[in-house]
Structure 1
Amino acid sequence: MPKSLEGIYQIATFSAIRKLLIAETIALSAFPFFLIPSAFAGNRLTNFSASLGQVSNSQVLDLKGNSFTISSELPRKNTYEENLKLWQNQLESARASGDRELQGVAITNLGAIYTSLGEYNRGLELYQQGMLIFQELGDRSKEIWVLNNIGTAYKELEQYDRAVEAYLRAIAIARSQGTLVREGWVWRNLGHTYRSMRQYDRAIEAFGQAVRVFQNTNAQDELADVTRLLQEVQRERDR
């Protein structure tokens, strides 16, 4: 099982994308990440009873044992409305108890849900609030997660320069923290952004960096996905 220096994380294909897009186009999109409670730490969240179910293309890192798992998939049993209510309840609970970390997690998860619903500006407002909390706490690993989500929102708004800036900031922090797998996913999303900009050489470089990371971490599903993306962009460039 691959290792880095961060915490226990799970990366999975975003369920809403799977539902909305046919299999051939799933990998064409960047997506936001969520923080969900790790199986052993679920009692930290109030009334968090939804089953996470099985996820595809997953990669679990056995590391320090953080309380949260990063995923691009929310609990399958819940609708968006239910997930909004769940994380709003967690935010209220965290504010009442003074749990700043959980406040940041809840706010940013709400932002990810709004982003997934196409409410990108609302998502960005919440991401900035979450970022301020994690900066206050000095939690750089969660800054990576928020910056990835900021980049994804800006990409969908076609504000590509801002998206690139956010992704590059996330990659810089990931490198300083030794967070390989998360760095790989951000490189992947950056590649999608450059592809949308028709900057094919930069897209090839970004996907190539993602390939390097997933090779180093033996993340076979992710490696196959990004290798295919790399080949597609190379063909587009050479037409």
Structure 2
Amino acid sequence: MGEYSKALTSYERSLEIQKIALPPNHPDLAASYNNIGIVYINMGEYSKALSSYERSLEIRKIALPPNHPDLASSYSNIGNVYINMGEYSKALSSYERSLEIQKIALPPNHPDLAASYNNIGNVYINMGEYSKALSSYERSLEIKKIALPPNHPNLASSYNNIGNVYINMDEYSKALSSCERSLEIKKIALPPNHPDLAASYLNIGNVYTNMGEYSKALSYYEKAQEIFQKSLPSNHPHIALVKTNIDNVKKKM
């Protein structure tokens, strides 16, 4: 948290200088408000983040052409605040506005479009609208397959998200296939004790638990536990979570 307060002080100092040196709607001011918003969202101070991002957007609307990618970025950041605040309809409207601009401003398979479809999928899964979430995540994956190398970690993230939708829809064999694809990519793309690998083992364990295949579930939970213990502090919630899952699955065997 100390690093965030240092960053905040630095960005605010920079902003004060810019306010004196630059015209009131200069794009550099918007960038400073945006940076301040990023620090606040990382600190979990969502209302302050929102106010900074909105100030940044106001300036960009005056300073930039109507379909400039920086406007899309502002709407996306505002969406990020709303999703963290649980205000899903507002998040959706911000992400959709961002996507509209990106479709005009960017090439059709630009990674930023994939990120927007992914964000929209995140909103829909939180709203319990699983078929819409699935369609957004699949659109995101299609773009990533074109825009990124075949074993890029962002592809793993897409397969993981699709797996989560299938889990929520109780379609466990489809969930398993997506989660396993995610794991395959992570094994190639990441170091062997990376926490994201453990997260994949945990997800696959959850699918097997839901399928009633408890010995397979246990084996995946134990792999997750081994990596988490090597890569995370001992008091990390993920370690407690996987321990609970192991205890629960052992009771069912």
TM range (shorter): 0.5 to 0.7
Residue 236 of structure 1 is matched in structure 2 by 252
Residue 139 of structure 2 is matched in structure 1 by 129
- Equivalence map 1:20-35=2 (5 Å): none
How far apart are the structure 1 equivalents of 2:239 and 2:168?
Answer: 24
Question: Is the 8 Å Cα contact of residues 120 and 157 (structure 1) preserved in structure 2?
Answer: yes
The residue identity in structure 1 corresponding to 2:140 is G
Question: Is the 8 Å Cα contact of residues 154 and 163 (structure 1) preserved in structure 2?
Answer: yes
The residue identity in structure 2 corresponding to 1:74 is I
Shift of 1:147: 0.7
SS in 2 for 1:198: coil
Between 135-144 and 102-111, the greater mean CA deviation after superposition: 135-144
How far apart are the structure 2 equivalents of 1:39 and 1:216?
Answer: 30
Question: Is the 8 Å Cα contact of residues 94 and 102 (structure 1) preserved in structure 2?
Answer: yes
SS in 1 for 2:74: coil
Question: Is the 8 Å Cα contact of residues 115 and 123 (structure 1) preserved in structure 2?
Answer: yes
Are the structure 2 counterparts of residues 149 and 211 from structure 1 closer, same or farther at C-alpha, using a change threshold of 3 Å? same
Are the structure 2 counterparts of residues 94 and 152 from structure 1 closer, same or farther at C-alpha, using a change threshold of 3 Å? same
Question: Is the 8 Å Cα contact of residues 207 and 230 (structure 1) preserved in structure 2?
Answer: yes
Are the structure 2 counterparts of residues 74 and 147 from structure 1 closer, same or farther at C-alpha, using a change threshold of 3 Å? same
CA deviation string 1:81-116 (max 9, x = no partner):
011011111111222220611110110111121122
SS in 2 for 1:169: helix
The residue identity in structure 1 corresponding to 2:232 is N
How far apart are the structure 2 equivalents of 1:46 and 1:96?
Answer: 16
The residue identity in structure 1 corresponding to 2:89 is E
> Which of 148, 169, 186 is the matching residue for 1:157?
169
**Does residue 98 of structure 2 align to residue 90 of structure 1?**
yes
The residue identity in structure 2 corresponding to 1:108 is N
Q: Unaligned stretches of 5+ in structure 2?
A: 1-34, 40-52, 57-69
Shift of 1:80: 0.5
**Does residue 213 of structure 2 align to residue 199 of structure 1?**
yes
Question: Is the 8 Å Cα contact of residues 144 and 173 (structure 1) preserved in structure 2?
Answer: yes
How far apart are the structure 1 equivalents of 2:89 and 2:112?
Answer: 20
TM-score, normalising length: structure 2: 0.64
**Does residue 201 of structure 2 align to residue 221 of structure 1?**
no
The structure whose residues are more often strand, as a share, is: 1
Are the structure 2 counterparts of residues 159 and 49 from structure 1 closer, same or farther at C-alpha, using a change threshold of 3 Å? closer
- Equivalence map 1:1-239=2 (5 Å): 39=38, 45-47=73-75, 50=78, 74-76=83-85, 79-98=87-106, 100-138=110-148, 140-178=152-190, 180-219=194-233, 220-237=236-253
How far apart are the structure 2 equivalents of 1:174 and 1:49?
Answer: 27
Between 217-226 and 198-207, the greater mean CA deviation after superposition: 217-226
Q: Unaligned stretches of 5+ in structure 1?
A: 1-36, 54-72
Matched-pair identity in %: 19
Relative contact order, higher structure (CA 8 A, sep 6+):
1
How far apart are the structure 1 equivalents of 2:239 and 2:124?
Answer: 29
CA deviation string 1:58-84 (max 9, x = no partner):
xxxxxxxxxxxxxxx9322x5100110
Over the residues paired in the alignment, what is the CA RMSD in angstroms?
2.7
Residue 59 of structure 1 is matched in structure 2 by none
Q: How many residues align?
A: 181
